[in-house]
Structure 1
Amino acid sequence: MSEAASHVVILGAGHAGGTAAALLRQYGHAGPITLVGEEPIPPYQRPPLSKAWLKGEADADSLALKPLEFYAEHGIDFRPSIAGLSINRGAKSVALSDGSSIGYDVLILATGARAIALPIPGADLDGVMFLRTAADAETLKATVGPGKRLAVVGGGYIGLEVAASGRALGAEVVVLEREPRLLARVACETLSTFFKAYHEQHGVGFELGATAAAFEGADGKVSGVRLADGWVIPCDAVVVGVGAAPNDEIARDCGLETTRGVVVDLDARTSDPAIFAIGDVAHRPMPIYDRMFRMESVPNALEGAKQAASAIAGRPQPAGEVPWQWSDQYDLKLQIAGYAFDVDEVLVRGDPATAKFAVFHLRGDKVQSVEAINSPPEFMMGKQLILGRRPVDKARLADAAVSMKEVAL
């Protein structure tokens, strides 16, 4: 059977899986499609969970990628509240958590990633939460409000977005970060310093170089975070945001190649030609940087879905894209293009004091990455410079009086 008429089973109904199902129909795939998801609701946008959802500005319907009826209308068999348990590659079948099994001609793994839990005492107390799903966001929204004390363990982007939303809801917020600065693994020091000061202006407290050793509790509910030095931070709720791990066990157990995620090629195809992997679970090529990498972002999910759907539908491979992501905090829009691999110079364009600036990461005279705060031109032109691998005049790039279009020329 050709892939164009094959039965495609998609494990994972997040942004990547839901988009892949829709694109397959858009690209003319005529065969059956089954979309299996662990959550009880159709695929939805996850980034607003830490922002609009927490603040009561969005719900499941407004964040849905497609209305529920879309799937039936387009011949997509959507099966909610079901997980894939194991893959039999020889029989081309997947065992599901409801006790059934389903056969496939082509399988797409869109199983995403899960929040990393802290292996410390008290981690099972009520009020110790993560923020990966709509259910998580709903629980947190019901917990946090005026007069409540929220502790956020982890000073990355999710932690800072939760802190901003917590303050918007009227809660007292303290962020605990084990590194000496915020965003230590994902951003430069200029950005770390800027965000810390901006959050402090909005009433967020910080404890840097602080390692959570245990969660204290009473009657089964969290009441504080005990640090390694013995100091206890009192709180009514905790959000743990210390990173995510790929849900690649089902791939590893059936013998697919995995390396911090499921290894794929530029078609999103795994070491088994009948199986694809997309989204947060995929360890994929990054030709711009001549390396493999696992990314966690909506644009990455969309690009993987395009690659897999194109290959299955017999379309040409889509053009490569520059990886990018964003973060909204208060009235700040951070847009990041590329990754700061092999950087030998960091250049700041604009004045951080104005909350409108960009940080360019360079290797020689080529842009590797740009972090832009409230600066869309720097972000957009930065993406073009990264993709085109064109050399830039550093003096002109640093001069905010010279437009980004002129810099790019």
Structure 2
Amino acid sequence: MSKHPVVIVGTGLAGFQAASALRDEGYAGRIVLIGDEVHLPYHRPPLSKGYLLDGVDEARLRMRPETFYADKQIHLLGGRRAVAIDRANRRLRLDDGAVLDYAHLVLAVGASNRRLTVPGSTLGNVLSLRTLGDAHAIRERLRDVRRLVVIGAGFIGLEIAAAALKSKVEVTVIDVADRPMARAVSPATSAVFALEHSRNGVRFMFNAQVQQIAGEQDRATGVDLADGTHVAGDLIVVGIGVQPNIELAMTADLAVRNGIVVDCFMRTADPHISAIGDCAAHPNSFAQDQEVRLESVQNATDQARCVAAGIVGRAIPYRTVPWFWSDQGGLKLQIAGLIHGYDQTVVRNDPQGIGCTVFCFRQGRLVGVETVNQPANHMAARRVMASVLAGGQGITPQQAADSQFDLREAAAPVHPA
């Protein structure tokens, strides 16, 4: 075994899981986990939900207590940033000048928020949400504002909007698209969220182009749209998507295309460097083996396990059913599979309440299932999608449209007679 450690850059979920999975796989060598935040690795999903509402104790956000890293002999370097990779000598340089040798380098560097580039976007009360520090700043501001403007009707924007409503804040959500979560879900699912958020008090403005953030001195007073409309706001939160952190990979001339390019084992062109999580562009069976970059808890966790297995000599390809979720007030969205490129949907509405299941097909083949407030259907859908991954048909559009057809039965394992 090499005397050099496995070095993992990034202390988000993917990086943490890679370190933890290496120990689970029996890796006995040194592990170094590097992150630019000073906090112990923490869960990000609660930041746009419960943390904004009730200020969850930050200790409860931690993935593990500090003793975990000592017990597992994971050397955690917080508040440090990796700045360059020397592939020829397998060395990583940090921002303080330190140089680390590595046997294998795992890039779990995540993504960064896209910046709004209009006049006024740097005013003091124009914020975005990615880190614990960001969430803390938004939570503190929400206590004193009356009108919140959210730019971006994606998952994060709508989660923040739903949380703000609980704080009795007037909320306006602006998006350039014609519906919420337009890049992520079908029109049928968008319609459920648009209706319910509107009923709860969210004011939506779609097909709206932000021209500038209006302000006085260092404080935003609202948003000016291209059509001349002014939307007043005491706090502006921007959530217009993310972009992968590829700068470190580029210092080593690794291929990047909407992420750090990897194969089905999450390896870059350099066999000693892998990339996982939000930053990794990988071939995915649910995208007809095209490169995709997924931002989800499942993706980060499973890719970390895949890389750990490969490092200990048990290489297995990354082939897992993608799934996603978003809690927005009383609405729980769950998605199994990838719906990109679908050409047909079948919708089952819940006659007992607010909820639905949307089946998405491409050329008659099931590619994804969206559920709203129907967790049992989501779990069944994941099992059905696993059968699709194994080469099966899953279910047909006709079966999906049949209200008597039980998705859970279709997902049940088949036992030989």
- TM-score, normalized by length of structure 1? 0.95
1:243 aligns with 2:246: no
Per the alignment, residue 33 of structure 1 pairs with 31
Give the AA of the match of 1:102.
L
Cα distance between partner residues in 2 of 1:236 and 1:342 = 39
Distance verdict in 2 for CA 1:352–1:361, change over 3 Å: farther
Task: Map 1:85-234; keep pairs closer than 5 Å.
Answer: 85-145=83-143, 147-234=145-232
Tell me the alpha carbon deviations over residues 323-378 of structure 1, each in whole angstroms, 9 at most, x when there is no partner: 11100011221110111133221000124883121101012332100110111232
Residues 145 and 235 in structure 2, CA contact (< 8 A), matched pair in contact too: no
Give the AA of the match of 2:346.
L
Per the alignment, residue 383 of structure 1 pairs with 382
Residues 178 and 208 in structure 1, CA contact (< 8 A), matched pair in contact too: yes
Per the alignment, residue 268 of structure 1 pairs with 266
Report how far residue 57 of structure 1 moved: 5.0
1:406 aligns with 2:409: yes
Distance verdict in 2 for CA 1:366–1:377, change over 3 Å: farther
SS of match in other structure, 1:54: helix
Cα distance between partner residues in 1 of 2:91 and 2:27 = 20
Structure 1 spans left out of the alignment, 5+ residues: none
Report how far residue 101 of structure 1 moved: 1.9
Distance verdict in 2 for CA 1:393–1:276, change over 3 Å: closer
Cα distance between partner residues in 2 of 1:143 and 1:331 = 23
Tell me the alpha carbon deviations over residues 99-140 of structure 1, each in whole angstroms, 9 at most, x when there is no partner: 322221111001000000011111111111111101000000
Cα distance between partner residues in 2 of 1:92 and 1:25 = 22
Report how far residue 380 of structure 1 moved: 1.8
Give the AA of the match of 2:384.
L
- TM-score, normalized by length of structure 2? 0.93
1:64 aligns with 2:62: yes
Cα distance between partner residues in 2 of 1:294 and 1:13 = 19
Per the alignment, residue 307 of structure 1 pairs with 306
Distance verdict in 2 for CA 1:31–1:143, change over 3 Å: same
Report how far residue 402 of structure 1 moved: 2.9
Give the AA of the match of 1:356.
G
Cα distance between partner residues in 2 of 1:209 and 1:256 = 38
SS of match in other structure, 2:360: strand
Give aligned pairs, total: 407
Per the alignment, residue 298 of structure 1 pairs with 297
Cα distance between partner residues in 1 of 2:52 and 2:408 = 38
Report how far residue 201 of structure 1 moved: 1.1
Give the AA of the match of 2:364.
D
Report how far residue 6 of structure 1 moved: 4.5
Report how far residue 72 of structure 1 moved: 1.7
Cα distance between partner residues in 2 of 1:98 and 1:116 = 27
Task: Map 1:291-370; keep pairs closer than 5 Å.
Answer: 291-317=290-316, 320-351=319-350, 354-370=353-369
Q: Identity, % of aligned pairs? A: 39
Tell me the alpha carbon deviations over residues 199-221 of structure 1, each in whole angstroms, 9 at most, x when there is no partner: 11111111111111111122212
CA RMSD of aligned residues (A): 1.7
Cα distance between partner residues in 1 of 2:341 and 2:153 = 24
